[in-house]
Amino acid sequence: MTTIAEIGQAHNGSLELLHKYIDAVASTGVNAIKFQTHIANAESSIHEPFRVKFSDDKTRFDYWKRMEFTQAEWIEIGAHTKRVGLQFMSSPFSNAAVDILEKAGVEQYKVGSGEVNNFLLLKKIIDTKKTIIISSGMSSYDELDRTVAFLKEHNAHFSILQCTTSYPTQPENFGLNVLAELKERYDVPVGFSDHSAKVSTGIAAVALGAQIIEFHVVLDRNQFGPDVTSSLTIEETKQLVEGVSAISEALQHPVNKKDNSAFSELKQIFEKSLAVNKTLKKGHILSFDDLEAKKPKGYGIDAIHFEKIIGQPIIKDLNQWDFLTEDAINEYE
């Protein structure tokens, strides 16, 4: 089970804040931390139409420029990540970003939803021989079929995440059913990239077969950022890690309901024997209303057999709350 906390752009271009995120995430118990590596000139242009509405950046291009870090800074980011015991992952958005990440010692690549059809970038990543995680958020099965075929053709080691590109994702759009579909269709490890900002979603995904859980984290939901509303806090991240770890452990230890021998002693204590709930004279014909079931098992006829003795006469006097034993019944088999 792999848990991945994504920083994304939560650092808002601040290297100091990014390093604070690394230390905070290290306290949660996740396996890996994922960044995004942006080089505006390589991945975008001034003609990119999408505007960053929450900031002062004039264009999306200007925003990506502000999200950049230098080669030296990325080397320190990678070193810090490994120093605190986390796997160093990132999503590159250009071939140039892959070069920077390779020099920084990245250990695994994540391919974002918008890059699934970018075979140029995929080939660049494949050539690093690192494992790859593909996010399926904006892709149809036809598109994924082509991408998976390309990855397998080049002997890539990869997994696929179910992802819904909606922030925050609402329950009707989680697509938890897709986990099984991806597994059956492509026969590779599958996981869930979550944007719901709910602890329960990741736990549910693991219960349904996700081997990888990725989610955004934020130090403060009052801060600015494109993913704030779809992120977990540090405390929620700890809760998620605890929950998915427990579910993952449970799935590795299936319970055999055909064999309950381990409960023999407890069954003796908690299961019950039949008793009479009133004083009864010899010859009384037993009815349902005469009966009670009392602990422990083995002191009277097992409660499971009550129907056998209804309508039968007792052959000795019984006091209220006496156990109903076989020798008190005229005919018992």
pLDDT for 263-279, tens place per residue?
888 888 889 999 999 99
Residue 188 confidence class, pLDDT cut points 50, 70, 90: very high
- pLDDT of residue 28 exceeding 60: yes
Q: Is 92 helix (H, G, I), strand (E, B) or coil?
A: strand
Looking at the chain, the whole-number percentage of residues with pLDDT higher than 70 is 97
**pLDDT over 80 (residue 203):** yes
The Cα–Cα gap between 299 and 294 comes to 9
Q: What is the DSSP string of 196-220?
A: S--HHHHHHHHHTT-SEEEEEE-S-
Q: Is the pLDDT of residue 333 over 60?
A: no
Per-residue pLDDT, averaged over 145-154, amounts to 97
Section 23-49 average pLDDT: 92
Average pLDDT in the 77-96 region? 98
Confidence band, pLDDT 50/70/90 cuts, at residue 220: confident
Average pLDDT over residues 89-107: 98
Instruction: Tell me the per-residue pLDDT of 150-168, one tens digit each, with 9 for 90 and over.
Output: 999 999 999 999 988 777 8
- d(CA 18, CA 36) in angstroms, rounded, equals 11
In which element (H, E) is residue 5 found?
strand 2-8
Residue 15, pLDDT > 60, answer yes
Element of type H or E holding 114: none
What is the pTM (predicted TM-score) of this model? 0.85
Confidence class of residue 53 from pLDDT cuts 50, 70 and 90? low
Phi and psi (nearest 5°) for 4?
-125, 120
Q: pLDDT tens digit string along 289-310?
A: 999 999 999 999 999 999 999 9
**β-bridge pairing 32-37 and 158-163:** unpaired
Lowest mean pLDDT among 98-102, 219-223, 303-307, 311-315: 219-223
- In this predicted structure, what is the pLDDT of residue 52? 57
Question: What tens digit of pLDDT does each residue of 120-135 get?
Answer: 999 999 999 999 999 9
pLDDT: is 142 or 45 the higher one? 142
Q: Name residues whose C-beta falls within 8 Å of residue 84's C-beta, 6 or more positions apart in sequence.
A: 22, 23, 26
Burial of 311 (0-12, 13-18, 19+ CB in 10 A): exposed
What pLDDT is recorded for position 280? 96
Closest C-alpha among 20, 29, 36 to residue 2: 29
pLDDT for residue 83 is more than 90:
yes
Residue with tokens 């989610």: 215
